[in-house]
Structure 1
Amino acid sequence: MRSILSLITWWNRETLGMRWFTWRKGTKVGEDADGNQFFQNKDGTRRWVIYNGDVEASRVSPDWHGWLHFTWNETPEDAPLPHKTWEKPHEVNPTGTLNAYAPAGSLRQATPASRSDYEAWQPE
């Protein structure tokens, strides 16, 4: 099933063409905590990620994001970045999911709060 999906979709992991290109030209340089695999070509001019699961750019941690965009040359495995005590761990962007922020009174909440300071307009 995975092979069939890779022929016609790009959002279910890598496509067949990307798998072929990675096999021919790619060198694996590391893997993050989510299981995403990071590659570069032999001369180091191209870098890419093969996601473990859904293709979602916010799943790449800031450490690996910097490496992917040539901000630094060493991978986070070779030269880990120093983290401050006040830094929060990386989280995936929840927009469009059930974990997304819903303000008080939102229709997405299970029981929207009733408002006593609001009266709906009714046409006459």
Structure 2
Amino acid sequence: MWNFIVQFFTWWNGQTMGTRFATWRFGKRVGEDEFGNVYYEGGMSSYGLPKRWVIYKGYAEASAIPPGWHGWMHHRTDVPPTKENYVTKEWQKQHRANQTGTPQAYRPPGSLAVAGERPRVTGDYDAWTPGN
């Protein structure tokens, strides 16, 4: 019952009622990633491409899609990572969710959230002053 109430009144937690109905009606499950997000395909978009969507485990956060699935979702490849031996490239970093708004967010030196002074301007830049 709680899941029904959450899905009925929120769009950011898992899936909405509309997405649940569309998934039941048209969706074909393609696979699941290591985070528990489930990927579907079904129907055609107005561009003539198959519709693809994800039902997030927990909050709907687009940065929670790993690189292999990101390519499939955006039609960069027709083969989902579950149907191929997708191996991350050596230059790819380990996936991290978006940290904006959390204590782990990046805060450069001199920002209001970090103690310290902002680095002095160097090079050929001169700050504008009135009367110059």
TM range (shorter): 0.7 to 0.9
**d(CA) in 2 for partners of 1:82, 1:8:** 38
Aligned to 1:77, the other structure's residue is in SS state helix
In the TM superposition, residue 24 of structure 1 has moved relative to its aligned partner by: 1.5
- 2:26 is the alignment partner of 1:25: yes
**d(CA) in 2 for partners of 1:69, 1:20:** 23
Aligned to 1:5, the other structure's residue is in SS state helix
In the TM superposition, residue 94 of structure 1 has moved relative to its aligned partner by: 0.9
**d(CA) in 2 for partners of 1:72, 1:84:** 16
Identity %: 43
**d(CA) in 2 for partners of 1:82, 1:35:** 18
Question: Using a 3 Å threshold, how does the CA distance of structure 1 residues 31 and 97 change in structure 2: closer, same or farther?
Answer: same
**d(CA) in 1 for partners of 2:31, 2:18:** 21
In the TM superposition, residue 25 of structure 1 has moved relative to its aligned partner by: 1.2
Q: Which residue of 1 aligns with 2:113?
A: 108
- Equivalent pairs counted in the alignment come to 114
* Structure 1 residues 1-124: aligned runs within 5 Å: 1-41=2-42, 45-109=50-114, 112-113=115-116
Structure 2 runs not aligned, ≥5 long:
121-132
In the TM superposition, residue 9 of structure 1 has moved relative to its aligned partner by: 1.5
The answer to whether the 8 A contact 2:109-2:117 is kept is: no
The answer to whether the 8 A contact 1:27-1:42 is kept is: no
In the TM superposition, residue 17 of structure 1 has moved relative to its aligned partner by: 1.3
The answer to whether the 8 A contact 1:63-1:76 is kept is: yes
The TM-score, its normalising length taken from structure 2, stands at 0.75
